[in-house]
């Protein structure tokens, strides 16, 4: 690209067609019968994401189209409503009509569509999808006949698209759900009156899951119940809620996030109030964390695509910058992070297909809870840095709002990090779970299963470093250490990063074993991931990762690669 004016963006491409790594992963996870219909659906979705939905999301994110509170309608009647704007409403309806929540053949298929949608950032879509999905799961699993008959059709309707929300956080408690102060008082007709302030109310559209404490209930999480609170009651009367203001957020700016007062608002308990926290975590928060991981993976892949596209076209210092080793290393780093994020997220989605979001088997439930918390943390914790690295490939053009989507993705990435559990909270929960369950034994079994199938001649250096790190980790993570609260609190993030990194590598190596003779891409990306994740004192060694340099261009292009893999 000798002149910047000749630059061509990637809008309009089929993002699924050019995502060979994701196709390879889905080939591993889907049955033969599922492959063709799911791939056809994802091609259709990806073309919309890169085309019409990309344009709508871009326009809806501009300042003049941001949401605003409506207290009164045009004749002065109270409405207490958020005006999302015509562009966002139109985009939401089209996505709902496409059937992300209604036409998915499986959890893997659903989260694959979420992953593709996230290529446009949050776009006032993916939070609504997540919250609506969680509310549907909770009502299906625990809701009364009245809730199932009255509100499930509305939550699935294209006339009220993506209109579910979950309001848990309060000003004082923050991430501490047990500190909730909102109170619920039972009424004689079986409803409840909810009173209190909710501090972060994202997607405040029509149907709200509200966490509150029944009068006289226990302190802490044991006393938390969840309720369905609609903005408008079934008789058409406005519920007793009051919007205070919308947050002026760093990112996800086309998505409204409100502060709301509930003033004896009418609600219906979702399940037994005594099981409220269990319902909240099992069906709502856990689902949202998987959505969050799929979103992070999609944002990361879009960042990689944007950086690669620019590097292919930009000439500097006598050549296209994509040929420079340092730029190639940045792109390889983004690519291997994307592969790791996807394998963790979609192996988890496949387990949810197999066992449900809330397995009845205690050990399986604990394993999936570990993976859900791990996936949310691992995919989000490096996302902002990854998008920033992609921006730097574009140089000054990377920070220009009307040149690239990357500034918006950077802002949204920061929100992805803060939503659905702070990093420290998630890591501490994982360590607490490990101390009281067979979680480490299950994790060890997953790693050993890969090592059993991993020949010593295949990626021999990577395997040796992997096995050494695995053994060292097992030696250091004893039951006594896990039970030591001070040790766990100090080392929680380091421990979870080690557990997560080794599991991601094991699952990637498992993928690499199968197609290596026809295509070495998965194997070479596994080597790159190992270079990032496994400790090494020889930072300038020519073997391993750096010996794959002759294949970097093909890896970045996501083209099939033939390579000798024994001594890597």
Asked whether 508 and 343 are in contact (CB, 8 A), the reply is yes
The CA distance from 455 to 233, in Å, is 63
With respect to residue 515, please indicate whether it lies within any of the assigned structural domains. yes
* pLDDT for res 64: 93
Nearest alpha-carbon partner for 169 in 224, 248, 90, 115: 224
* pLDDT for res 292: 98
Q: Tell me the per-residue pLDDT of 422-431, one tens digit each, with 9 for 90 and over.
A: 999 999 999 9
Mean pLDDT across the chain: 95
The CA distance from 504 to 340, in Å, is 6
* pLDDT for res 168: 96
* pLDDT for res 535: 83
Asked whether 343 and 507 are in contact (CB, 8 A), the reply is yes
Question: Does residue 1 register a pLDDT over 60?
Answer: no
User: Average pLDDT in the 261-278 region?
Assistant: 97
Structure tokens at 120: 């446009």
Structure tokens at 479: 């039951």
User: Average pLDDT in the 160-176 region?
Assistant: 91
Asked whether 161 and 92 are in contact (CB, 8 A), the reply is yes
User: Average pLDDT in the 211-235 region?
Assistant: 96
Structure tokens at 475: 């030696």
Query: What is the rounded radius of gyration, in angstroms, for the C-alpha atoms of the chain?
Result: 24
With respect to residue 444, please indicate whether it lies within any of the assigned structural domains. yes
DSSP state of 192: E
The total number of structural domains that make up the chain: 1
User: Average pLDDT in the 372-394 region?
Assistant: 98
* pLDDT for res 540: 67
Asked whether 114 and 342 are in contact (CB, 8 A), the reply is no
The CA distance from 507 to 129, in Å, is 28
* pLDDT for res 547: 83
Residues in the chain: 568
Half-sphere exposure of 534 toward its Cβ, with a 13 Å CA cutoff?
27
With respect to residue 524, please indicate whether it lies within any of the assigned structural domains. yes
Q: Tell me the per-residue pLDDT of 313-355, one tens digit each, with 9 for 90 and over.
A: 999 998 999 999 999 999 999 999 999 999 999 999 999 999 9
The CA distance from 503 to 470, in Å, is 10
With respect to residue 54, please indicate whether it lies within any of the assigned structural domains. no
With respect to residue 533, please indicate whether it lies within any of the assigned structural domains. yes
* pLDDT for res 541: 66
Distance set, CA 369 to CA 24, 70, 351, 429, 541 (Å): 26, 39, 11, 10, 39
Give SS3 for 213.
Answer: strand
Question: Does residue 280 register a pLDDT over 70?
Answer: yes
Asked whether 151 and 230 are in contact (CB, 8 A), the reply is yes
With respect to residue 165, please indicate whether it lies within any of the assigned structural domains. no
User: Average pLDDT in the 505-533 region?
Assistant: 90
* pLDDT for res 543: 58
Tell me, letter by letter, the H, E, C secondary structure of 429-445: HHHHHHHCCCHHHHHHH
* pLDDT for res 532: 92
CA 418-421-425 angle, 5° bins: 115
The CA distance from 162 to 89, in Å, is 10
User: Average pLDDT in the 296-313 region?
Assistant: 98
Distance set, CA 35 to CA 32, 41, 237 (Å): 5, 10, 47
Beta-carbon count within 10 A of 338 CB = 26
CA 215-217-218 angle, 5° bins: 150
With respect to residue 552, please indicate whether it lies within any of the assigned structural domains. yes
What is the model's pTM?
0.97
Tell me, letter by letter, the H, E, C secondary structure of 247-308: CCCCCCCCCCEEEEEEEEEEEEECCCHHHHHHHHHHHHHHHHHHHHHHHHHHHHHHHHHHHH
Question: Does residue 516 register a pLDDT over 90?
Answer: no
Q: Residue 173: pLDDT band by 50, 70, 90 thresholds?
A: confident
Question: Does residue 28 register a pLDDT over 90?
Answer: yes
With respect to residue 479, please indicate whether it lies within any of the assigned structural domains. yes
Q: Tell me the per-residue pLDDT of 93-125, one tens digit each, with 9 for 90 and over.
A: 999 999 999 999 999 999 999 999 999 999 999
- What residue numbers bound the domain in which 506 lies? 438-557
Question: Does residue 385 register a pLDDT over 70?
Answer: yes
* Residues 6+ away with beta carbon under 8 Å from 199: 169, 170, 171, 259
Q: Is 392 exposed, middle or buried (0-12, 13-18, 19+ CB in 10 A)?
A: middle
| Dihedral sign from CA coordinates of 82, 87, 90, 91 | negative
Q: Tell me the per-residue pLDDT of 43-83, one tens digit each, with 9 for 90 and over.
A: 999 999 999 999 999 999 999 999 999 999 999 999 999 99
Cα dihedral value 76, 82, 84, 90, nearest 10: -80
Question: Does residue 241 register a pLDDT over 90?
Answer: yes
* pLDDT for res 537: 59
* pLDDT for res 2: 60
């Amino acid at each position: 690209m000798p002149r910047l004016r000749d630059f061509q963006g990637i809008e309009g491409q089929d993002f699924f067609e050019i995502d060979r790594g994701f196709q390879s992963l889905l080939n591993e996870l889907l049955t033969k019968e599922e492959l063709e219909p799911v791939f056809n659906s994802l091609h259709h979705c990806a073309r919309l994401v890169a085309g019409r939905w990309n344009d709508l999301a871009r326009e809806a994110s501009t300042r003049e189209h941001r949401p605003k509170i409506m207290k009164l309608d045009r004749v002065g009647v109270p409405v207490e409503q958020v005006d999302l704007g015509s562009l966002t409403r139109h985009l939401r309806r089209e996505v709902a009509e496409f059937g992300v929540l209604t036409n998915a053949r499986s959890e893997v298929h659903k989260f694959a569509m979420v992953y593709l949608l996230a290529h446009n950032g949050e776009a006032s879509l993916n939070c609504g999808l997540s919250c609506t999905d969680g509310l549907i799961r909770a009502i299906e699993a625990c809701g009364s006949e009245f809730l199932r008959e009255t509100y499930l059709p509305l939550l699935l309707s294209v006339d009220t698209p993506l209109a579910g929300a979950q309001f848990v956080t309060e000003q004082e408690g923050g991430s501490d759900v047990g500190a909730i102060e909102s109170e619920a008082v039972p009424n004689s007709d079986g409803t409840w009156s909810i009173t209190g302030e909710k501090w972060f109310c994202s997607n405040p559209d029509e149907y709200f899951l509200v966490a509150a404490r029944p009068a006289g209930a226990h302190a802490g999480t044991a006393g938390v119940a969840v309720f369905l609170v609609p903005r408008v009651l079934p008789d058409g009367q406005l519920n007793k809620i009051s919007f205070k203001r919308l947050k002026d957020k760093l990112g996800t700016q086309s998505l409204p996030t409100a502060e709301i007062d509930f003033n004896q608002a009418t609600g219906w308990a979702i399940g037994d109030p005594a099981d409220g926290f269990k319902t909240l975590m099992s069906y709502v928060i856990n689902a949202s964390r998987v959505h969050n991981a799929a979103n992070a993976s999609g944002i990361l892949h879009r960042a990689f695509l944007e950086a690669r596209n620019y590097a292919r076209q930009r000439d500097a210092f006598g050549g296209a910058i994509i040929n420079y080793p340092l730029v190639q290393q940045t792109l390889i780093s983004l690519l291997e992070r994307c592969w790791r994020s996807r394998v963790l997220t979609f192996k988890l989605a496949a387990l949810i297909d197999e066992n449900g979001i809330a397995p009845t088997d205690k050990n399986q439930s604990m394993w999936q809870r570990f993976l859900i918390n791990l996936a949310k943390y691992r995919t989000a914790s490096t996302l902002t840095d990854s998008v920033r690295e992609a921006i730097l490939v574009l140089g000054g053009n990377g920070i220009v709002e009307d040149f690239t989507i990357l500034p918006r993705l950077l802002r949204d990435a920061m929100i992805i990090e803060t939503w659905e559990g702070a990093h420290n909270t998630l890591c501490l929960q994982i360590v607490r779970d490990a101390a009281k369950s067979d979680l480490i034994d299950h994790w060890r079994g997953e790693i050993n299963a890969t090592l059993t199938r991993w020949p010593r001649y295949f990626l021999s250096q990577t395997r040796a470093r992997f096995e050494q790190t695995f053994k060292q980790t097992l030696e250091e993570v004893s039951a006594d250490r896990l039970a030591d609260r001070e040790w766990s609190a100090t080392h929680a993030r380091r421990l979870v990063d080690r557990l997560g990194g080794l599991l991601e590598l094991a699952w990637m190596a498992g993928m690499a074993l199968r197609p290596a003779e026809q295509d070495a891409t998965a194997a070479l990306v596994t080597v790159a991931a190992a270079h990032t994740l496994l400790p090494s004192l020889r930072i300038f060694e020519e073997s391993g990762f750096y010996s794959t340099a002759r294949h970097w261009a093909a890896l970045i292009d996501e083209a099939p690669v033939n390579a000798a893999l024994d001594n890597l």
